[in-house]
């Protein structure tokens, strides 16, 4: 199966495929060429989608968990059967190296499989009653129609990380995919339809300007839950808007991940972990390390080996199997990387390797030293292939520097000392800690942040709870 011309050609997916009255263009960041003319949905499509989501929710929730599970399992099979085509779509629309895109499809499908299984384990509870004639129960029910907003950096996995638990729980789901990456989402909808997903249960509304569409759905009382992955700034707006109709909300927001490399680390093993953590997806993930703290005793050896490993990464055509780093997603992302480097250099930073823009949207993997706290890259996500190295003397100092941020998504450390591994992990104010592990993400674990990095958890058995309400039933027996 390949992505139908419909999905590429100004159609959106609702209770079937519909043509939008207006369109917008998306381009391939690797070449700048026009990739597709896609549907540009607005408030009218959003209002229709809310009504469809309400109707489909009322029938989808009546299906047994076993019926929903079977459809999700077929969706998983179809995703894996179309892995190559889905991966290629993703690479074309956002520039992710093809080997990483294949990995992302498996990651995305992993959420679908996990929640196909988890659908059957939404258990209730019984409580001992305080009166002899009463029986007390708690049951779990789907929260209702869900509005999801997903980012461009994981065009498939962030869709299934939200839609799969929602659909498994019995909710209907309206997705606004990122402006840059609607094709992967539309492709997933085609596969959902082919798997037997009932019309209206999963709707995909691409759009160029999300504000009017989003405002319509946020104001609609039939939408009972909103789930968002993206910037803290937009998360704050959705959090405020959700107050109008008291929607349940999950937010996976920005990060500013520290990596602490202690003096006892085995550098041969530590460096590949820190490299993978930093340069995955050209540094464009919320959990990529943004600040690398290295004990002063090993700083010289670390920076030499780390810079050598970074400069060996192959930058180039993301469709090439050997490419490690593709283009940045757009001119705005590219300008931010340049701005962070220029700002750091103007405040005294030194380039150990890289530092230069290449042609198009490509950027050299960069390592910087002589870093100070007032630099932009020490205060916000760079979202690019830039690694600042900072030294520390004591564990306490490293923890204090790592926690000195309003963000709290992911943090990492490398050590051979078990007691240090426990103490530092517990002291880090983050939702996720990778100990000697630069790539901790997988579908069955709790993913999410603390502080201004978000609310709620996605993945594992925690993920489905976000789409369920608890209902208490008190039953009096005739006395
Ligand atoms: C993200 O960048 O938001 C997701 C990263 C992941 O799932 O590993």
Summarize pLDDT for 432-467 with one digit per residue, the tens: 999 999 999 999 999 999 999 999 999 999 999 999
pLDDT at residue 1 in the model: 44
Nearby residues of 18 by Cβ (< 8 Å), 6 or more positions away: 11, 12, 39, 45
Q: What's the CA gap between 460 and 165, in Å, rounded?
A: 9
Among 103, 152, 158, the mutation site with the greatest number of ligand 1 atoms within 8 A of its Cβ is 158
Distance 209 CA to ligand 1 centre (A): 23
pLDDT exceeding 90 applies to what percent of the chain?
97
Residues 364-414 have pLDDT tens digits of: 999 999 999 999 999 999 999 999 999 999 999 999 999 999 999 999 999
Nearest CA among 38, 28, 33, 36 for reference residue 91:
28
Q: How many residues does the chain have?
A: 479
Determine the Cα angle at 424 with ends 419 and 428, to 5°: 155
Select which of 41, 277, 286, 288 is catalytic. 286
Identify the sign of the CA torsion 26, 28, 31, 33. Answer: negative
CATH code 3.40.605.10 region(s) in the chain: 5-253+453-473
Residue 330 has pLDDT above 80, yes or no: yes
Q: What's the CA gap between 463 and 378, in Å, rounded?
A: 31
CATH code 3.40.309.10 region(s) in the chain: 257-443
Cβ of 160 closer than 6 Å to ligand 1, yes or no, is: no
pLDDT at residue 219 in the model: 98
Q: What's the CA gap between 243 and 229, in Å, rounded?
A: 18
- By the 10 Å C-beta count (0-12 exposed, 13-18 middle, 19+ buried), 309 is classed as middle
Q: What's the CA gap between 115 and 311, in Å, rounded?
A: 40
Residues 215-269 have pLDDT tens digits of: 999 999 999 999 999 999 999 999 999 999 999 999 999 999 999 999 999 999 9
Three-class secondary structure of residue 95 per DSSP: coil
Cβ of 201 closer than 6 Å to ligand 1, yes or no, is: no
CA dist list (Å): 250 to 53, 136, 393, 446, 472: 19, 30, 38, 13, 23
Q: What is the pTM of this model?
A: 0.97
Taking all residues of the chain, what is their mean pLDDT, rounded to a whole number? 97
Per CATH, the homologous superfamily of domain 5-253+453-473 is: Aldehyde Dehydrogenase; Chain A, domain 1 (3.40.605.10)
Q: Please give the number of the atom of ligand 1 that sits closest to the Cα of 440.
A: 8
Nearby residues of 259 by Cβ (< 8 Å), 6 or more positions away: 274, 277, 278, 289, 291, 292, 293, 411, 412, 413, 414, 438
Distance 229 CA to ligand 1 centre (A): 9
Distance 277 CA to ligand 1 centre (A): 11
pLDDT exceeding 70 applies to what percent of the chain?
98
Contact 227, 250 (CB under 8 A): yes
Identify the sign of the CA torsion 299, 302, 308, 311. Answer: negative
288 is catalytic: no
Residue 239: CB atoms within 10 Å? 17
286 is catalytic: yes
Q: Please give the number of the atom of ligand 1 that sits closest to the Cα of 157.
A: 7
Cβ of 287 closer than 6 Å to ligand 1, yes or no, is: yes
Which two structure tokens, joined as six digits, stand for 459? 């993945």
Q: What's the CA gap between 126 and 136, in Å, rounded?
A: 6
Which two structure tokens, joined as six digits, stand for 308? 């050598």
Per CATH, the homologous superfamily of domain 257-443 is: Aldehyde Dehydrogenase; Chain A, domain 2 (3.40.309.10)
In the block, residue with structure tokens 């929640």: 115
Distance 169 CA to ligand 1 centre (A): 23
Q: What's the CA gap between 326 and 96, in Å, rounded?
A: 6
């Amino acid at each position: 199966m390949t992505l139908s011309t419909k999905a590429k050609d100004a159609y959106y997916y609702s209770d079937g495929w519909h043509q939008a009255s207006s369109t917008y263009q998306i381009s391939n960041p690797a070449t700048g060429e026009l990739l597709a003319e896609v549907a540009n949905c607005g408030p009218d499509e959003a209002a229709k989608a809310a009504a469809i989501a309400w109707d489909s929710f009322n029938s989808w929730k009546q299906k047994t968990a076993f019926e929903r599970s079977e459809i999700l399992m077929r969706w998983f099979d179809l995703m894996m059967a179309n892995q190559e085509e889905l991966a290629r779509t993703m690479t074309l629309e956002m520039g992710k190296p093809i080997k990483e895109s294949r990995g992302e499809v498996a990651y995305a499908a992993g959420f679908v499989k996990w929640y196909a299984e988890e659908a059957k384990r939404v258990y209730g509870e019984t409580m001992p009653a305080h009166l002899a004639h009463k029986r007390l129960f708690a049951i779990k029910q789907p929260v209702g129609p869900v509005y999801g907003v997903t980012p461009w950096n994981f065009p498939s996995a962030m869709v299934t990380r939200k839609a799969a638990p929602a659909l498994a729980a019995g909710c209907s789901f309206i997705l606004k995919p990122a402006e840059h990456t609607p094709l992967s989402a539309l492709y997933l909808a085609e596969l959902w339809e082919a798997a037997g997903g009932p019309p209206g249960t999963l709707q995909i509304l691409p759009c160029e300007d999300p504000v009017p569409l989003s405002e319509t759905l946020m104001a609609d009382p039939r939408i009972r839950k909103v789930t968002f992955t993206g910037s803290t700034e937009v998360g704050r707006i959705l959090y405020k808007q959700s107050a109008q109709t008291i929607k349940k909300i999950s937010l996976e927001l920005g990060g500013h991940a520290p990596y602490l490399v202690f003096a006892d680390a085995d550098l041969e093993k530590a460096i590949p972990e820190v490299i993978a953590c930093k340069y995955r997806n050209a540094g464009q993930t919320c959990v990529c390390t943004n600040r690398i703290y290295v004990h002063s005793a090993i700083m010289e050896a670390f920076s030499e080996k780390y810079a050598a490993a970074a400069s060996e990464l192959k930058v180039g055509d993301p469709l090439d199997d050997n490419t490690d780093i593709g283009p940045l997603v757009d001119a705005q992302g590219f300008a931010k990387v340049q701005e962070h480097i220029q700002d750091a250099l103007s405040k005294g930073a030194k380039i150990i390797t890289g530092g230069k823009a290449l042609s198009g949207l490509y950027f050299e993997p960069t390592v910087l030293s002589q870093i100070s706290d007032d630099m932009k890259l020490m205060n916000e996500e760079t979202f690019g292939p830039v690694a600042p190295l900072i030294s520390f003397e004591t564990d306490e100092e490293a923890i204090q520097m790592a926690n000195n941020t309003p963000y709290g998504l992911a943090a990492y450390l490398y050590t051979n000392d078990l007691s240090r591994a426990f103490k530092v992990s517990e002291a880090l104010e983050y939702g996720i800690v990778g100990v000697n592990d630069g790539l901790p993400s997988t579908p069955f674990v709790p993913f999410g942040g603390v502080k201004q990095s978000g609310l709620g958890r996605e993945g594992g058995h925690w993920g489905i709870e976000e789409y369920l309400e608890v209902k208490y039933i008190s039953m009096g027996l005739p006395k």
